[in-house]
Structures are given as C-alpha cells and as structure tokens.
Amino acid sequence: MRIYSLIFALLLIFGGCADNSSYVKVVDSSIDRDIDIEDIKERVREDGLKEVQVMGENDTDEYMLLRYRVVWQDKDGFDVPSISSSWRDFPVHKNSNFTINIIAPNKEAQKYQLFINRQGE
C-alpha cells in the first residue's frame, strides 16, 4: 500500500511541475460542435517574441462571424497587458479552414489563453 502512495505522490509532484497553462478554448457552446481546432503551432521569433498560429475548420454550410481574444501571461502566471486582450472579429466561411495568428506583446509574455466566441455573444 505504501508503494502505491509513494507512486501517487511522485506523480502529483512531477505533474505539478509541468505547468503549461497555454490553451485555446471555444467559449460559445452553440458553435462548439461547428468548428474544430485542428492544430496549434508555437515558436519564438528571432526578436524573442512568442508567435502562435491556430488552425481550425468550419464544419458547417454556414458563414460565421467569430471573434477571439488573447490573455497573455508571464512565466509566473501574471497577466501581461496587451491590445490583443480585446475581442477581434474574424470571418469563417462555410466548410473552410481558418487561421488565427498572434504575437506576444513583449518577451515576458510566455503563456496564453485564446478564447473563441460567436460575434455578438
């Protein structure tokens, strides 16, 4: 029984060290099944800024006007003020792929949370 407790404790410790709180989330349940996030690419540019490319697809036969916002955080999890924290509209054509490109506001911005919503919600 002790061995299982030890293994569980080690998993919690090492799992807690892997703090990757960056994510993309569709926050509007009415479109959650209509769009798919297919890939997320990240890189650090030559100027030291993090760049993120989110690729998705509209699975419906309808044009959608969506919007996104990004909350950037530093390595310690504190918010980094950014113009991208405001909602930005983007069109998604029927049965089409879409791409969202974002660049960190400064070198301290390491983590991000990107939220996608239907425009006007």
Is the pLDDT assigned to residue 92 strictly greater than 80? yes
**Contact present, 87 and 67 (Cβ < 8 Å):** yes
Q: Is residue 14 part of a domain?
A: no
DSSP string over 30-52: TTTTTEEEEEEEEEE-TTS-EEE
DSSP 84: G
How confident is the model over 104-110, as a mean pLDDT?
96
Q: Is residue 76 part of a domain?
A: yes
Give the domain extent around 40: 21-118
Is the pLDDT assigned to residue 8 strictly greater than 60? no
Is the pLDDT assigned to residue 52 strictly greater than 90? yes
Percentage of the chain surpassing pLDDT 70?
83
How confident is the model over 34-42, as a mean pLDDT?
96
Q: Considering only CA atoms, which of 54, 32, 62, 41 is closest in space to residue 98?
A: 54
Domains identified in the chain, total number = 1
CATH of the domain at 67: 2.60.40.3230
Q: Considering only CA atoms, which of 30, 45, 54, 48 is closest in space to residue 113?
A: 54
Sign of CA dihedral 84, 47, 53, 14: negative
User: Residue 19 has what pLDDT?
Assistant: 52
pTM recorded for the entire structure: 0.78
How confident is the model over 23-37, as a mean pLDDT?
92
Q: Is residue 25 part of a domain?
A: yes
- Measured distance CA(101)–CA(79) in Å, rounded: 20
Q: Is residue 6 part of a domain?
A: no
Q: Is residue 7 part of a domain?
A: no
How confident is the model over 13-26, as a mean pLDDT?
66
User: Residue 84 has what pLDDT?
Assistant: 83
